[in-house]
């Protein structure tokens, strides 16, 4: 009983903006470093260890950023929805800020997945864009990100922005699987089976490892950037508190 309450205390301790702010500042560089290391390892595997694909040649090496970026863009939306739900249930201020800090990174990965998909599609399908189920749902996901960012930026009152964004993120998260399913259904009816980008016919173990490590690098990068971004958001939001004044004094004293 006491254990539980003390652990609960710790969680809420770090859920307070003034304790999370320095913690985020300490953690972010480590995650950034981890991301750089993992990316270096992943790129080495991608270019120097993974063999040439028998059917696609060298073009398939796009997979090492395409697939992790696509995974990330979907995960980040789910994490945003998770923080939004937490914010609504527990009414913690930090949750909404985390969701806001994640959105631009998710949109960035979404864009990267689309861009690399198009460049990979040209030699594979003969066109930069086909209305493939995965690409199309990825495009709709990008619109969902844009909608979230536009809505939270358009609302001037920060609390209203937080909550409206949270509702939108949750509604979107319910709809993402429906959108994916419907687009897949539509796609199979309209153009039959298309060559899927992500199914390289002979997936060597090194390819899989390369993809996994790049995905982990994307995770570490996302965490680092979200932590850095949330620090600015916290300062803005808490600007009328004493601890932000103290922090500003420290920053202002620096040359």
Partner 1 sequence: MLKPFVAVLARDLLLAWRGRADVLVTLGFFVIVACLFPFGVGAEPNQLRAIAPGILWVAALLATLLSLHRLFGQDFADGTLEHLLLSPEPTVLWVLAKILAYWLTTSLPLVVAAPGLGMLFDMEQGGLMVLCLSLALGTPILSLLGAVGAALTLGLRGGGMLLALLVLPLFVPVLIFGAGAVEAHLSGTGASAHLLLLSGGALGALVLGPWACAAALRVAAE
Partner 2 sequence: MNWNSWAAFWDMGGAAFYVWGSYGVTFIAIVAELLLVFRRRRDTLTRLLRLRRAQGGRPAAASPDSSD
Residues in touch with partner 1 (CB under 8 A) = 88, 140, 143-144, 146-147, 150-151, 154-155, 157, 159-160, 163-164, 167-168, 170-172, 174-175, 178-179, 181-183, 185-186, 189
Which of 65, 164, 153 has its CA nearest to residue 104? 153
Calpha distance 166→160 (Å, rounded): 10
Q: Binding to partner 2 by residue 209, rule CB under 8 A?
A: no
Q: Binding to partner 2 by residue 229, rule CB under 8 A?
A: yes
Judged by beta carbon distances under 5 to 8 A according to partner kind, the member of partner 1, partner 2, none in contact with residue 172 is: partner 1
Nearer to partner 2, 180 or 221 (CB): 221
Q: What is the DSSP string of 15-64?
A: HSHHHHHHHHHHHHHHHHHHHHHHHHHHHHIIIIISPPBTTTBGGGGGHH
Calpha distance 47→39 (Å, rounded): 12
Calpha distance 88→168 (Å, rounded): 12
Q: Binding to partner 2 by residue 115, rule CB under 8 A?
A: yes
Nearer to partner 1, 19 or 182 (CB): 182
Q: Binding to partner 2 by residue 102, rule CB under 8 A?
A: no
Q: Binding to partner 2 by residue 123, rule CB under 8 A?
A: yes
Name the strand (E) or helix (H) holding 182: helix 158-191
Judged by beta carbon distances under 5 to 8 A according to partner kind, the member of partner 2, partner 1, none in contact with residue 112 is: partner 2
Q: How would you class 67 by CB atoms within 10 Å of its CB: exposed for 0-12, middle for 13-18, buried for 19 or more? A: buried
Q: How far is the CB of 93 from partner 2 (least distance, A)?
A: 6
Size of the site for partner 2 (CB under 8 A): 47
Q: Binding to partner 2 by residue 33, rule CB under 8 A?
A: no
């Amino acid at each position: 009983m006491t254990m539980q309450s003390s652990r609960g205390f710790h969680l809420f301790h770090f859920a307070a903006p003034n304790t999370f702010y320095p913690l985020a500042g300490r953690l972010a560089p480590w995650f950034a470093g981890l991301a750089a290391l993992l990316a270096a390892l992943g790129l080495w595997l991608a270019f120097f260890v993974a063999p040439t694909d028998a059917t696609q040649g060298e073009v398939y090496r796009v997979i090492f950023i395409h697939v992790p970026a696509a995974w990330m863009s979907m995960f980040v939306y789910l994490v945003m929805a998770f923080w939004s739900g937490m914010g609504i249930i527990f009414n913690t201020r930090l949750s909404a800020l985390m969701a806001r800090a994640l959105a631009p990174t998710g949109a960035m990965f979404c864009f990267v997945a689309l861009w690399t998909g198009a460049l990979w599609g040209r030699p594979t399908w003969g066109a930069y864009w086909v209305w493939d189920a995965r690409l199309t749902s990825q495009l709709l996901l990008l619109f969902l990100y844009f909608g979230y960012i536009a809505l939270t930026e358009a609302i001037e009152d920060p609390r209203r922005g937080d909550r409206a964004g949270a509702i939108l993120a949750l509604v979107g998260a319910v709809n993402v699987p429906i959108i994916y399913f419907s687009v897949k259904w539509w796609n199979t009816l309209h153009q039959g089976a298309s060559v899927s980008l992500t199914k390289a016919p002979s997936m060597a173990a090194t390819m899989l490892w390369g993809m996994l490590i790049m995905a982990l690098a994307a995770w570490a990068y996302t965490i680092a950037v979200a932590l850095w971004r949330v620090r600015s958001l916290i300062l803005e939001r808490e600007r009328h508190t004493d601890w932000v004044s103290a922090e500003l004094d420290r920053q202002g004293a620096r040359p």
